[in-house]
Amino acid sequence: MLYSLQALRAFAAWVVVCHHFMQIFFDFHATGPVGQLLTDRGAVGVDIFFVISGLVIYLSTRDKTIEPRQFLLNRVLRIVPAYWFYTALMAALLLAFSQWMPHQEFAWHHMLLSMLFIPAENPGGYGLYPTLNVGWTLNFEMFFYLLFGLAFLVRQRHHLLLVTVALLLVSEVLGRLGVLSRFYNNDIIYEFLLGIGLGVLYRRGLIRQGRWLPLVVLGVAGLAIYHLDASQRLLHWGVPSAMIVLAFIALEPAFQGNRLLKALGDCSYSVYLVHVLVLYAGWFASERLHLNPYLVFALCVPSIGLMSWFSYQWLERGLYRRMQAWLAAPRGQAVEYALSRVKC
């Protein structure tokens, strides 16, 4: 387990939280430099997530004999229960308070497509976003897991080549021609490959631990993100995000053994799923009671943190273990309790 990745995962999740705070409370109309930075660059947290996902999936499966079905089942058990739960909560919110959410609309067929990770136009008419809007990233994640899982059908030395070719085929050919949704014709999908590349470097011992050089790399990556927009997302934000992940791995001794950072990293998926619901509730209270948005956000932050901790303990970790035990019991297999996102 790399504590540095846990720290970075937590950082990326909370950057996205701040980005959506600017969206929900201010419609991205920032009034200060910090607010403008979070508005314009806060979405880069997603790019960092994608790079980390590619890295962790590679490291957690390398040199292991895994059946494609078992790999995909583990990913489904890991991702789906919490996502379905918060999608259902979002649907209930939309049905109950639709008059106060004019930009959001609900449709049952769209919710079904969302829960199946099938990209579809949101009923609100603002793009290919699922019922729980942040779930658009999970559509990419699950598609990457599917391609990665199918790679186990060939010899391990051909895995990376097959995944790379499959991603190119999907994005540049099938997505562009309309055979698959245009959603996949997005260069952000290649950020998973950047993570896999970092995994290869890490396994070969080519990422040296240090302090000053990684800090310089972080500075360069930060400047690149600050000065470049998302018009060429893979190049402008994806590569700097990979540089950030690389630098954090090199700084591992500074994070080693920090249980707080590990806990924050563990909860990052739930933070990502639950924060929009809490922010919408905070925005509603702010509008109805005429409260200061920043005061409301100060209350939202611990609420998100507490809810995400309970969500991780019960929805993610607890349910994952129970379902693994239930599936393994009939065959008498040993139960695998570990969540791959914290194993490297």
User: Which tens digits make up the pLDDT trace of 57-74?
Assistant: 999 888 777 888 888 988
At residue 125 the predicted structure's pLDDT band, cuts being 50, 70 and 90, is confident
At residue 48 the predicted structure's pLDDT band, cuts being 50, 70 and 90, is very high
Residue-level pLDDT at 177: 83
Mean predicted confidence (pLDDT) in 244-267: 95
pTM of the model: 0.91
For the chain, give the secondary structure using H, E and C: CCHHHHHHHHHHHHHHHHHHHHHHHHCCCCCCHHHHHHHHHCCHHHHHHHHHHHHHHHHHHCCCCCCHHHHHHHHHHHHHHHHHHHHHHHHHHHHHCHHHCCCCCCCHHHHHHHHCCCCCCCCCCCCCCCCCHHHHHHHHHHHHHHHHHHHHHCCHHHHHHHHHHHHHHHHHHHHHHCCCCHHHCCHHHHHHHHHHHHHHHHHCCCCCCCCHHHHHHHHHHHHHHHHCCCCCHHHHHHHHHHHHHHHHHHCHHHHCCCHHHHHHHHCHHHHHHHHHHHHHHHHHHHHHHCCCHHHHHHHHHHHHHHHHHHHHHHHHHHHHHHHHHHHHHHHCCCCCCCCHHHCC
Q: What is the pLDDT of residues 268-324, one digit of tens each?
A: 999 999 999 999 999 999 999 999 999 999 999 999 999 999 999 998 888 888 887
Mean predicted confidence (pLDDT) in 227-231: 93
Residue-level pLDDT at 338: 44
> At residue 92, does pLDDT exceed 50?
yes
> At residue 156, does pLDDT exceed 80?
no
At residue 331 the predicted structure's pLDDT band, cuts being 50, 70 and 90, is low
Mean predicted confidence (pLDDT) in 178-191: 91
Domain boundaries, position 21: 3-342
Mean pLDDT of the chain: 90
Residue-level pLDDT at 102: 63
Residue-level pLDDT at 330: 60
Query: Based on the structure, what is the number of domains in the chain?
Result: 1
Residue-level pLDDT at 285: 92
